Amino acid sequence: MVAATGMNDAMEEKPDRIRALGLLSGGLDSTLAARLLLEQGIDVACVNFHTGFCIQSHTGAIRNPKPGAPPPRHDALHAAKNLGVKLHMVDISADYVRIVTDPKHGYGKHLNPCLDCKIFMVAKAWEMAKQLGYHFIFTGEVLGQRPMSQRRDTFPVIDREAGVKGWLLRPLTALRMPETEPEQRGWVDRNRLEGFSGRGRKPQMALAEKLGITDYPSPAGGCCFLTDENYARKLRDLWNFRNTREYTIEDILLLKAGRHLRPAPHFKLMIGRDQSENLFLSGFRQGRVMIRTKNTAGPLTLMEGDTTAPEDRLLACRIAARYSKGKDQGKVVMTIDSDGFSETLEVTPLPAHELMDHWHV
């Protein structure tokens, strides 16, 4: 097998079997893009990248499920299953840190480095395509659909900076774009591609209906926590108080769960909002102080930062007690676990008027 074309002059003009690798989020657009190429008899496989910030129903997975709610699922897996294509699931979370902390093209509305993210993923996919013998790559991008990365002036930037110029096909919007190499070589029939543009979803939904695609996620939800205002605020808070823009995978997972309060610059509390969040947070107790109510129902609280001062631990316990069933009792007994040691402390739950609004991250 000859390696993917584009970079290999020895490649024959018309291979027996055209192979394409697509970036698949599992949303409607990337699913349709894959399906359009499958309809042309192209051998399609897909890749899905894990950045650590993918939403993928994480909130639903952490918190108690709402009665009757379907279980959360990984959209790309299910789209690949329905399409009948191979899915490469690739963890890029470690390399992705520099994209989030220092994006060349800046952030969108919140901490979303959409253009840098797209360039990074396209470059990764093209690298994989070359290694695995795919002839070109494709995405479900639509001209004008996203304000930062899916614009007429940013598509060429993506192609150029990802080193994939001419070899990235966008089947849903191809008729509005210059012909790509796969089209020019006759590998892909341009007449069977689309010319969608703009933020509307009706053309995609009509095409889905025509192709018999009915199982796809709602287009309303975002796919990345970095576009979420609340999440971005928590990440900024983490960076501000650590004085560095670095993060670990643990950090970004913890930002997804619980109430976050910062009563003082040097420590933060993460307070579970239900039994499932308590369970989730308890998995991160190592290296942190874990606070629980002893004789009454209440949240599991993690204390992070400089947690050694007794007065800070007392305040943390009083805040945690505030969110327990014993909040109106005179005293609540709390258990504090830290570095393998356990102690109990009887505290007065913090009254509402002493819980400062600005503590909430």
Partner 1 sequence: MSDWQLDVDVRGLLCPLPIFKTDQALAGLPVGGRARILATDPGIAHDLPAWCQINGHAMVSLVNKGRLWTAIVEKGT
Residues lying near partner 1 in the complex (CB under 8 A):
48, 50, 54, 56-58, 60-62, 65, 71-74, 77-78, 80-81, 85-87, 89, 91, 253, 276, 279-280, 283
Least distance from C-beta 27 to partner 1, angstroms? Answer: 15
Least distance from C-beta 234 to partner 1, angstroms? Answer: 17
Least distance from C-beta 61 to partner 1, angstroms? Answer: 5
Least distance from C-beta 86 to partner 1, angstroms? Answer: 7
Q: Do residues 346 and 245 make contact, with C-beta atoms less than 8 angstroms apart? A: no
Of residues 187 and 216, the one with the C-beta less far from partner 1: 216
Q: Do residues 268 and 361 make contact, with C-beta atoms less than 8 angstroms apart? A: yes
Q: Do residues 40 and 189 make contact, with C-beta atoms less than 8 angstroms apart? A: yes
Q: How far apart are CA 85 and CA 73, in angstroms?
A: 18
Q: Which residue has the tokens 């889905």?
A: 208
H/E stretch holding 45: strand 43-50
Q: Which residue has the tokens 């480095």?
A: 113
What does the angle CA 58 – CA 324 – CA 69 come to, to the nearest 5 degrees?
30
Q: How far apart are CA 97 and CA 240, in angstroms?
A: 16
Of residues 214 and 243, the one with the C-beta less far from partner 1: 214
Of residues 83 and 336, the one with the C-beta less far from partner 1: 83
Least distance from C-beta 256 to partner 1, angstroms? Answer: 8
Least distance from C-beta 40 to partner 1, angstroms? Answer: 22
Least distance from C-beta 85 to partner 1, angstroms? Answer: 8
Coil, helix or strand at residue 172: coil
Of residues 40 and 276, the one with the C-beta less far from partner 1: 276
**CB 66: neighbour CB atoms within 10 A?**
8
Of residues 20 and 164, the one with the C-beta less far from partner 1: 20
H/E stretch holding 117: helix 114-132
Q: Which residues of 294-315 are buried (b: 16+ CB within 10 A; e: fewer)?
A: eeeebbbbbbbbebeeeebbeb
Of residues 77 and 123, the one with the C-beta less far from partner 1: 77
Q: How far apart are CA 177 and CA 144, in angstroms?
A: 12
Residues 6+ apart with CB under 8 A from 139: 22, 23, 30, 33, 122, 168, 170
Phi, psi (rounded to 5 degrees) for 22: -110, 150
Of residues 249 and 356, the one with the C-beta less far from partner 1: 249
Least distance from C-beta 57 to partner 1, angstroms? Answer: 6
Of residues 71 and 330, the one with the C-beta less far from partner 1: 71
Strand locations in 83-162 (E):
86-91, 136-138
